[in-house]
Structure 1
Amino acid sequence: MSFSFFRPSSRPKSPAELVRAIRDSLVALDAKTVAEVQALEKALEEVDKNFLSMRQMLLGDGDVEPIPDQVSQITLEVCKEGVLDLFVHKLPVLGWDARKDLVHCWGTLLRQKVGSSYCCVGYIENHSELLEFLVTCYDNKEIALNCGNMLRECIKYPILAKYMLESASFELFFKFVDLPSFDIASDAFATFKDLLTKHETMVSEYLNANYEKFFELYEMLLTSANYVTRRQSLKLLLEFLLESPNARIMVRYISEVRNLKIMMTLLKDPSKNIQISAFHVFKVFVANPNKPLEIISILVKNHEKLLMLLHSLPVNKDDEQFEEERGILIKEIERLSSISEVC
């Protein structure tokens, strides 16, 4: 009697063996070495299998918890073998399952502290072109959302967020957040928001050093023809301007006539939601006790229209603070106009 079907299962790969297998299967996807469709399909199947094994080793599988020593070893091997480069650059040719597994593993790999350092974070810091590649992938609708998830994991680390802010590719976000695809634009905005809010002191330093260029680009978002872009950018503007490290930026912003005019225009927006968001930025201009003469002049010159706009804002009887603030602004604009008449 033959029991050949009771073959022992093959020995599970060690972390080092798995990483080498991952590397080899990703290299096999190179268009120069894959001459036939069948060969490519086989290579993709091998990648899928290896990525699933990596996910199980890093994250566990059902009731089986990951083994810390194996997680550390696979992290070291990924850096040692340069597999992070392949993860990023081969992303456009991976299948759906492989991309999903990679996204799940990416954050875990970055979080692993081996010894006194974050191995993968340090690797990406020394290979910053990987970040730039991920940013440009927002132009590829097939992998844009995967890249967005990977970028937001990177932004959690100040050294990587700093590079992204200061790199030329940062300006691409002003295009990506206004893309016609709602899903991709929303994801790009989530990444953009993380960059501007996760590390307050670092962002403050960046804004101080790049004030004019940044707000010139940001103005395009505030005046976009896209309703969602206008609304999101307004809310984000208020959020990061009110952060305490950005006090100097706030003072500078509310001292410029150009910015006041943008808010006055947005107060007339057809969308009630945008009107309310614009109100919360506009009130800072009016409430500023040290308003420049140019700002006062604009408020006085347009006081009748501004008072009409403020009175016509949607009434929310449950929001007592809003009603109180509206009343204060109306009184301040009336006070400025009366002083001007006397003078």
Structure 2
Amino acid sequence: MAFFFRAASRARPSPQEFVRSIKESLLALDTKAGAKALEDVEKNISTLRQTLSGDGEVEPNQEQVLQIALEICKEGVLSLFVQNMPSLGWEGRKDLAHCWSILLRQKVDDVHCCVQYVENHVDLLDFLVVCYKNLEVALNCGNMLRECIKYPTLAKYILESSSFEFFFQYVELSNFDIASDALNTFKDLLTKHEAAVSEFLCSHYEQFFDLYTRLLTSTNYVTRRQSVKFLSEFLLEAPNVQIMKRYILEVSYLNIMIGLLKDTSKNIRICAFHIFKVFVANPSKPRDIIQVLVDNHRELLKLLHNLPTSKGTFVLSTSSLMPEMG
């Protein structure tokens, strides 16, 4: 019996052999009969998941995990993973997304080897973004994207790529689960890395808020609610104070908030109020902002009087809505 276990141990493939087997099975998806090729791939990915994360009883061998990550990068298997995601079954996609997160975390001399690979193959990020259009793989690819966004260089690429604009479409998709997942990814892009986001919004301010305005005025209730809620949180965060100061100078954005104060949804009205009050409280209001407040003060007072109470809501005085015209 002891001999059997020693023999089995010697028969275990090396990381190089294991990764080569995964690669060959993925490449075979285009050449072999579908069912058998797919079975081989999913079996390999299942084994990879167990190797990377353990089986619940035995912890993974970290040295082996790192070697596998290095080989996967060397052999270009990360690209094959992404490209073949749509071909996999439900369990295979789930296992692959799990493996992806572990692989991205592997470091050699303080360098995330798989993150570096993706940096050099940014088309993979574009592919993952576009996969939100594919009902079968959207949620898996969303998980993989959020793992990528944890790393500043990858998040920065997505923000500055043409693919980023797709998120303004995805958050309005008719499939609620996919739209919500896309919104989570969108939020991560705008909150995980302050410096990259600040740089992006400073250089793409008009383009970004033109697109975001469409969400705030969407006919889709869920889109309006989620977008105004996120904006009310985002603008009031300390790192975004410069963006907020710029936003509250725009009379068109004030008019949007006034419109949202009339929404039939209590939650939308409360979130809109938290943005509206910053326009009012600004001690350096532009003349056109003051004019809108003066022209609409009766209606605004009525709207605020009927505003549902919530934690953090405060009453704006009549004088604050009727500032002196300079």
Classify the TM-score, shorter chain.
over 0.9
Aligned residue in 2 for 1:54: 48
Pairing 1:177–2:171 present:
yes
Pairing 1:101–2:95 present:
yes
2:316 to 321, 325, 328: 328
String of CA shifts for 1:280-301, please: whole Å, max 9, x gaps: 1111100111110100000000
String of CA shifts for 1:261-309, please: whole Å, max 9, x gaps: 0000000001011000100111110011111010000000000110000
Identity over aligned pairs, percent: 63
Asked if the contact 2:277–2:316 (Cα under 8 Å) also holds between the matched residues in 1, the reply is no
The alpha-carbon deviation at position 14 of structure 1 amounts to: 2.0
Partner SS for 1:29: helix
**Letter aligned with residue 135 of structure 1:** V
Asked if the contact 1:310–1:330 (Cα under 8 Å) also holds between the matched residues in 2, the reply is no
Structure 1 residues not aligned, in runs of 5+: 1-5
2:35 to 34, 41, 59: 41
Tell me the matched-pair count: 320
1:88 to 82, 90, 107: 82
Pairing 1:296–2:290 present:
yes
Asked if the contact 1:283–1:329 (Cα under 8 Å) also holds between the matched residues in 2, the reply is no
Report the Cα distance in structure 1 between the residues aligned to 2:221 and 2:255, rounded to whole angstroms. 18
Alignment of 1:194-233 (within 5 A): 194-233=188-227
Aligned residue in 2 for 1:3: none
Q: 1:201 to 1:243 in 2, by over 3 A?
A: farther
1:65 to 59, 63, 66: 59
The alpha-carbon deviation at position 244 of structure 1 amounts to: 2.7
Q: Highest CA radius of gyration, 1 or 2?
A: 1
String of CA shifts for 1:82-128, please: whole Å, max 9, x gaps: 00000000011011111111111111100011223100000000000
Q: State TM-score, norm by structure 1.
A: 0.90
String of CA shifts for 1:193-228, please: whole Å, max 9, x gaps: 000001112101100000000000000110111111
The alpha-carbon deviation at position 9 of structure 1 amounts to: 5.3
**Letter aligned with residue 166 of structure 2:** L
Pairing 1:162–2:156 present:
yes
Report the Cα distance in structure 1 between the residues aligned to 2:95 and 2:252, rounded to whole angstroms. 47
String of CA shifts for 1:46-77, please: whole Å, max 9, x gaps: 11110111011110011100001101000000
Aligned residue in 1 for 2:185: 191
Asked if the contact 1:15–1:77 (Cα under 8 Å) also holds between the matched residues in 2, the reply is yes
**Letter aligned with residue 199 of structure 1:** H
Q: State TM-score, norm by structure 2.
A: 0.95
1:149 to 122, 143, 147: 143
Asked if the contact 2:70–2:113 (Cα under 8 Å) also holds between the matched residues in 1, the reply is yes
1:251 to 245, 252, 275: 245
**Letter aligned with residue 202 of structure 2:** N
The alpha-carbon deviation at position 247 of structure 1 amounts to: 2.0
Pairing 1:123–2:117 present:
yes
Report the Cα distance in structure 1 between the residues aligned to 2:308 and 2:232, rounded to whole angstroms. 20
Compute the RMSD of aligned alpha carbons: 1.6
Partner SS for 2:249: coil
Structure 2 residues not aligned, in runs of 5+: none
**Letter aligned with residue 24 of structure 2:** D
Report the Cα distance in structure 1 between the residues aligned to 2:215 and 2:113, rounded to whole angstroms. 37
Asked if the contact 2:69–2:114 (Cα under 8 Å) also holds between the matched residues in 1, the reply is yes
Asked if the contact 2:261–2:273 (Cα under 8 Å) also holds between the matched residues in 1, the reply is yes
The alpha-carbon deviation at position 251 of structure 1 amounts to: 1.2
Asked if the contact 1:59–1:66 (Cα under 8 Å) also holds between the matched residues in 2, the reply is yes
**Letter aligned with residue 167 of structure 2:** F
Report the Cα distance in structure 1 between the residues aligned to 2:308 and 2:241, rounded to whole angstroms. 30
